Chains A and B, each alone.
Chain A
Amino acid sequence: MTIKEVQDLIVEEFSAFDEWMDKYEYIIELGKSLEMIDNSRKVENNLIKGCQSRVWLDCQINDGKLCFTADSDAIITKGIISLLIRVYNGRTPQEILSSDLDFIEKIGLKDNLSPTRANGLVSMIEQIKIYAKENL
């Protein structure tokens, strides 16, 4: 699946929920099931600034493809990262940099996040793009 196709799938999944509380319930479930980051990767260097909660995002290169693992002390943030990882994991840097990220807006997540949290989201996406640029 392309980055666009994965995003379309996520949008479809979220369209099943009418209530925002249900969407959050789903995000929380995603957060709980996010694969644990290796503890040795939870270092200051991998800490993303600009979130109300602490977020660690690590990137490893495998066969020219970027593999992300992440963690956060807040579960909703973890759920949101897990969506980002689902979209971006196993992609080449070119794929990541040439893609448009539109699922967050389409599922209405951006409007539903307080500005501080929205900023954290922006910082997470920026960090993914920085990793991609560094590994071009």
Chain B
Amino acid sequence: MLTNTIENIRNQFPFLTNKVSGKELIYFDSAATSQRPQSVISAINEWNSFANANVHRAVHHLSACATDNYESGREAIRKFVNASKREEIIFTSGTTASINLLANTIGGVLLKEGEAVLITEAEHHSNIVPWQILTQRIGAKLIYLPVDESGQWDMEQLDTLFESENIKFVSAAHISNVLGLVNPIERLIQTAHKYGAKVHIDGAQGIVHQEVDVKKIDCDFYSFSGHKIYAATGIGVLYGKESLLDILPPWMAGGDMVDTVTFYKTTYAKLPLKFEAGTPNFIGGATFTPALEFARSVRCHQVEQNERMMKDFLIKELTSIEGLEIYGMGENKSPVYSFSIDGIHHSDIAMLLDQMGIAVRSGLMCAEPLINKFGKTGLVRVSLAPYNTLQECEIFIDALNRAIRMLR
């Protein structure tokens, strides 16, 4: 039975009226992109219609409106992650851009030749490749903390790695997009700080499922995307401690990030604009206000209960399917289930589920090293959001069993 809360949440999502192959769409791919509530969609439409002007520039009314909306979005983010100041919230185009910003600015400042960057074995490509490029460029080393068979970080190796390698920067996911496990980031951060290394947390998944208090966890940087937390696509965030952002050089250059410019010398704007060259996605930035308001509204007992029921049901049903293996098992797991089935290709499963109106992800999920570790060419991933229901999970399990019968 749906509680009123869940029904009320579902009513806020127009996408639920979608039909795929004549069936009501069941969207189990929220870890890739979450759907947007009406409040966000309406705000985008309204701002596109009545508040479209370039921000931080003109003196006219419309520009002031657009700037207010954009800066309100920044303030909503600051509050949401409990950062001290607006200067610490940098708008980027998404988590990938946030990581690239860091990888293009810390060289020579927070990371020097001969030093090392530590990541983990369970990172998304966008938290691997930028560090590969950086370390290769400046002659630093890239090392990773292994995960065990259940997908947990091998914390016993952590101190050993710090003792044996000259690690100065750490970048790791709060929650892996494949495994869904909530990683022990606080312990990682404490350890890294003990050895004098700075830490960036890739919060693309973490911000959606966990309360994030950047002061409490004491991370140096934290990044996430709008489109995974009900906001617009093409906008994201890099949180950084002011003292660190201050010493990093600008990366992208252009309008808005400067103070004064001559042909021979430029002085840069203060934070956060120092890192926001060019016209930003200001409507996207503004959508964080209604999006985070929605995100806060779903952090309640009824939603947790609904999630618990769906998780218990899925774990029980999935593990009873012959030859099915779930990757990423542990106490503290967000509603993300990546699995393989013996003798059946992940894309066959995903295609047949699609025919039955169910959207799941299949493939390498931008985490090839991790999938390779498990000896697979791809997995099927189911990821849930507050607008999903137990009934949808039941339909999914029936559909999955039907697909397996067809394919075996």
- A residues adjacent to B (C-beta < 8 A): 20-21, 24-25, 28, 52-54, 73-77, 112-114, 117
Contact = CB atoms under 8 A, between A and B. Distances in A.
B43 interface: no
Contacts of A75: 344-345, 348, 407
Contacts, number: 43
B111 to A, nearest CB: 36
Contacts of A74: 345, 347-348
Interface size class of B (residues with CB under 8 A): 10 to 19
A25 B354 CA distance: 14
A54 B355 CA distance: 22
Interface of B: 21, 344-345, 347-348, 351-352, 354-356, 362-363, 377-378, 406-407
Nearest to B362: A52
A21 B356 contact: yes
Contacts of A25: 406
A113 to B, nearest CB: 8
Contact of A20 (B348, B355, B407): B355
A112 B355 contact: yes
Contacts of B407: 28, 75
A136 to B, nearest CB: 34
Contacts of B362: 52
Cβ-closest 10 pairs across A and B:
A74-B345, A52-B347, A74-B347, A76-B348, A74-B348, A53-B347, A73-B345, A75-B348, A20-B355, A53-B345
Contacts of B345: 53, 73-75, 77
Q: Chain A: interface secondary structure?
A: helix
A83 to B, nearest CB: 16
B406 A20 contact: no
Residue of B345, B406, B407 contacting most chain A CB atoms (<10 Å): B345
B406 A24 contact: yes
Given A53-B377, A114-B351, 13 more contacts: A20-B21, A24-B351, A28-B348, A28-B406, A28-B407, A52-B347, A52-B362, A53-B347, A73-B345, A74-B348, A76-B352, A114-B354, A117-B351
Residue of A53, A54, A74, A77 contacting most chain B CB atoms (<10 Å): A74
A28 B352 CA distance: 11
A25 B403 CA distance: 10
A75 B347 CA distance: 9
Residue of A20, A21, A52 contacting most chain B CB atoms (<10 Å): A52
A29 to B, nearest CB: 9
B398 to A, nearest CB: 13
Contacts of A77: 345, 347
B352 A24 contact: yes
A114 B363 CA distance: 13
Given A74-B347, A76-B348, A52 B406 contact: no
A75 B344 CA distance: 8
B377 A73 contact: yes
Given A24-B406, A28-B406, A52-B362, A76 B347 contact: yes
